[in-house]
């Protein structure tokens, strides 16, 4: 069964409804022992990086997440949940992340190299371009996903599964080992998002 981590800063309703449409059994919990029994975990997130890490640290969920990923079972971070997977963020001052993926979360500058301004946050539908195929991207073609974010992950190329262009190429889907992340909202991204979620749920069956 799939577990959704409840630490008070995730859009639990939309994620859970997407799993119901996929007919995937799930539970929502803040209990560390129960979450450790899951076959796969989703870390959702809406809000500020600093506040989210404070809640994870204070509740002991940070240690639980590390124990869980060390077991080799799959973990998916969504939106802010993806950003939390990285080493640190500059949002509201430097804050350490979960350090499961290499890189730093930084703000869109809002100004191009030529000096033209653009809107921040990055909000709306944008095209994803995938780098090859893996277990998460089976039966996936380049398509549009729904984004809402002001910060993006600056990371290593080998971690990036898909990119999106918003002034610059930014990571949209990331992964290393059994740890995955999606910057956009897959549960709000029509056929593409649902296929990606479905592919992730298949990973727990392969384990």
- The string of pLDDT tens digits covering residues 1-50 is 999 999 998 888 889 999 999 999 999 999 999 999 999 999 999 899 99
Q: Is 127 exposed, middle or buried (0-12, 13-18, 19+ CB in 10 A)?
A: middle
Does residue 66 have an active-site annotation?
no
| pTM attached to this predicted model | 0.95
Host domain of residue 30: 2-206
Q: Exactly one of 91, 122, 149, 185 is catalytic; which is it?
A: 185
CA of 132: how far to CAs of 54, 135, 172, in Å? 36, 11, 14
Task: Please state the domain count of the chain.
Answer: 1
Q: What is the CATH number of the domain that holds 114?
A: 3.40.50.880
User: pLDDT of 79-136, one tens digit each?
Assistant: 999 999 999 999 988 999 999 999 999 999 989 888 889 899 999 999 999 987 788 8
Of 173, 122, 164, whose CA–CA distance to 147 is shortest?
A: 122
- Cα–Cα dist 114/38, whole Å: 49
79, 91, 122, 149: which one is catalytic? 79
């Amino acid at each position: 069964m799939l577990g959704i981590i409840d630490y008070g800063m995730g859009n639990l309703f939309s994620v859970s409804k997407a799993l119901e449409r996929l007919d995937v059994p799930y539970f929502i919990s803040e209990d560390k022992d129960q979450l450790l029994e899951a076959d796969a975990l989703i870390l959702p997130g809406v809000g500020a990086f600093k506040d989210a890490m404070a809640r994870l640290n204070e509740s002991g969920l940070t240690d639980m997440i590390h124990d869980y990923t060390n077991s080799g079972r799959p973990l998916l971070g969504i939106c802010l949940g993806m950003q939390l997977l990285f080493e640190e963020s500059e949002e509201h001052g430097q804050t350490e992340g979960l350090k499961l993926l290499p890189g730093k979360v930084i703000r869109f500058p809002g100004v191009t190299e030529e000096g033209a301004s653009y809107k921040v946050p990055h909000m709306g539908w944008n095209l994803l371009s995938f780098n090859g195929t893996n277990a998460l991207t089976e039966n996936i073609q380049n398509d549009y996903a729904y984004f809402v974010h002001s910060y993006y992950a600056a990371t290593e190329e080998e971690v990036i599964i898909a990119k999106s262009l918003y002034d610059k190429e930014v990571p949209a889907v990331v992964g290393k080992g059994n740890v995955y992340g999606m910057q956009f909202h897959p549960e709000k991204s029509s056929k593409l998002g649902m296929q990606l979620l479905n592919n992730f749920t298949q990973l727990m069956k392969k384990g």
